[in-house]
Chains A and B, each alone.
Chain A
Amino acid sequence: MSLTWGQVKQWRAAPFTTAEEALTTSRRTLTDRADDLRTMAGPARWTGSAASTASTRLRRVTDDLEILVAEVSAARRAVIEAGDAVTGVEHAVDAAVEYASAHGLTISADGTVSDEAGLQMCYATEHDEQVARQERQVLVDECVARVEQALRKANDVDVDLVAVLTSVRDGTIADGSDLSLDEAARDGDAAGHLSLLGPPSGGTPADNTGWWESLSPEEQQRVLDEHPDWVGNLDGIPMGVRDEANRTRLEETATELRDRQQDIEDELAAMDPDPYDPEYLALLAEAQTIREQLGAIGTLEETLDKPDTHLLVFDLTPGQRPQAAVSIGDVDTADHVGVFTPGLTSTVEGMGGYVNDMADLRDATLDQLARNGDFDSTVATVVWLDYQAPQWGSTFSGDSVALSGAAEDGGASLADFYRGINSSRATDPDLTALGHSYGSTTTGYGLQHEGTGVDRAVFFGSPGLGTSDVDDLDIPSGSAYYAEAKWDGVGDLGRFGIDPSAMDGINHLETGDATVDGQDYAGVSGHSSYLEQHSTSQYNMATVVSGHPQDAVEGNNTGITDDPRAWDWWPSWLGG
């Protein structure tokens, strides 16, 4: 029978602590009978039928006491761990109740969440009302997820506890074959462990948050120690936890790969180089993959050595290029968060420059806050490369369908990353999505998912947002910004929806050409120079991320019709 919210709300961990202490005392009293059992053995050379009856009885008495000790030990262990787990249940229940009350929601005894408050104001446009309605729905969904995870945890505790108690009831904890009461106590203890509940399979970020909140601090530490792979890349888990888990994973993986690389080198050195030998070729291929992975690891190690950096995603899934996300600043607590998605040809090995760009954007955003009189708000920026950005010559076969597939898939992951930022925090940050080049297409697809909690979006150098209608983006009206530099070939491709330069309802940002002294100082030109220091683009992005977009320099650098073949990054095989 499944547990109800009304029941689980009444669960208490404190009686488990009392029971644990009492059972500890009771068990000690029983194991202390070991001395009695030794004395009970009688004279060594006692023989005859009375002696043999006594011996049989003593063996029986000894075995039975061992079994009782083992059972009490198993139950005690189960009570300790269940008590800990119930602490998690209590925590999850409190979190759900607090969440509901903070957002004007109610949870009924059967666990149904209803939105009593509803929409509180009138909205200028239908789009804005729809966005607001979806935001309310996200709140309801997040609350439902918390209720479900609290119940899931309670059921898990129950199932585990039932398993141990059933073994006790059925007498299968011990068979009396132990050599001493102490050994029986140890064996019973080992039989009383409860399982550690893993994250929900295929859960939403809110489900994952609910799961994490349903763990006691001890259980959370156990996850970090024993299963860092459960949480490192899991959206909805606090970023500080992900960072800790991923640094562990990074270190372990680096050691493994470096060892393996050495082994391969030794093996290759001992072989005749034979291009027809499949074993030789397989080793060469593996060496190449490991080189690529270690390249990514090297960049991450150097990046993470710097202050205020956090590893939010670390993914070396075989058969794909390494993926990662790094934040500068604390995403768990920052008032303003900017998530930057890079585009074509981006790799983790080459992401160091982006990390510095985002470190600069963070400082520039702090500047804009201070310039607006806010010296207290905090900022975090993220380089998110948790998707397969197309690479020239390999994945970029010129097939736009395949290309948009990667952006669509990436967009779905990115939407979950945004959602995870919001669901893992008590209060949502002011969240800006930033996408460059193909990363803006990915961002565009991401923002077509509902309930990302993104407040503003900046696209630059975009081959399209995966839509031709800005209202398809699930962000408030007027909060999409577009910056395109002159000479931007990718930006003029218009492959994935119309060129954002021509999109209605999008704000245009200047990318350069603001001059004094008669010189063209800050204009950036070409597709890859948007983020260079000293650019108007970065100032503009900082005004948007800080929530002061009215300070941005507006403009629209369109109409440049340079021959694409003049661009040095344009691959010759694309023709012309």
Chain B
Amino acid sequence: MDLREQLAQRPTFEEAEKGYLALLVELRDTIDAQAPGLEWQADAPSQRSRSVCSAPFDTVEGAENANYSIGRGAKGVVPDERWQATVDAMLVPLREQGFSEVTVLQDEPGAHQVSVGDPATGARVEFGTKAGTILTLYGACFLPAQGS
């Protein structure tokens, strides 16, 4: 199956974007329930950047890739004692959406970050806290809907 056909099997860019944005809302609500008091920098998640795709899909004309976040994240931190419970709670909706691979990037008192990836597409969600809190979804490569 060539690369374009592989991408054609995926949802369209627009469908994927809708799903990603909904997932971010759900994750934010989960985080807020576990660690209240964060000041999110925007009311709703939105596209932060849009680009061509990485290899191997960089050669597929029109294929697109975008990242999403809620503003630049949230002011305030997830306290150490709530960190693991928050991550665990987030993993429920994440796994439902195929985000199953967890990488711990930092796990020290007062400083945490995990990356949760979707092995099928290469998308991942970054969640971290230190002096501020971030929740960013690095989307996978998709073809836009016909005519868009």
Contacts and interface: CB of A to CB of B under 8 A. Distances in A.
Contacts of A308: 49
Interface residues of B, number: 44
Contacts of B122: 532-534
Interface string A358-378: 011011101101111111000
A39 interface: no
B48 A375 contact: no
Contacts of B69: 363, 367
Given A363-B49, A536-B103, 4 more contacts: A359-B51, A366-B48, A528-B55, A536-B105
Interface band, chain A = 35 or more
A568 interface: no
A551 interface: yes
B4 interface: no
A545 to B, nearest CB: 15
Contacts of A350: 58-59
Contacts of B41: 375
B138 interface: yes
| Dominant secondary structure at the B interface | strand
20 contacts: A302-B61, A303-B52, A306-B50, A307-B49, A308-B49, A352-B53, A353-B52, A353-B55, A356-B54, A364-B138, A367-B73, A369-B72, A370-B133, A373-B130, A375-B72, A375-B73, A521-B102, A522-B101, A533-B122, A534-B101
Contacts of A201: none
A514 to B, nearest CB: 5
Contacts of B51: 303, 306, 328, 355-356, 359-360
Contact of B133 (A307, A363, A371, A374): A371
A364 B117 CA distance: 15
A534 B75 CA distance: 25
Interface in A520-576: 521-522, 528, 531-534, 536, 539, 551, 553
B103 A514 contact: yes
A517 interface: yes
B104 A356 contact: no
Given A366-B72, A515-B103, A521-B101, A355 B52 contact: yes
B136 A371 contact: no
A532 B54 CA distance: 8
Contacts of A373: 75, 130-132
A519 interface: yes
Interface string B124-142: 1010111111101010100
Nearest to A358: B51
A371 B113 contact: yes
List the 10 shortest-distance A-B pairs measured between CB atoms, nearest first. A373-B131, A353-B58, A522-B103, A353-B55, A359-B51, A352-B58, A534-B117, A370-B73, A352-B52, A356-B51
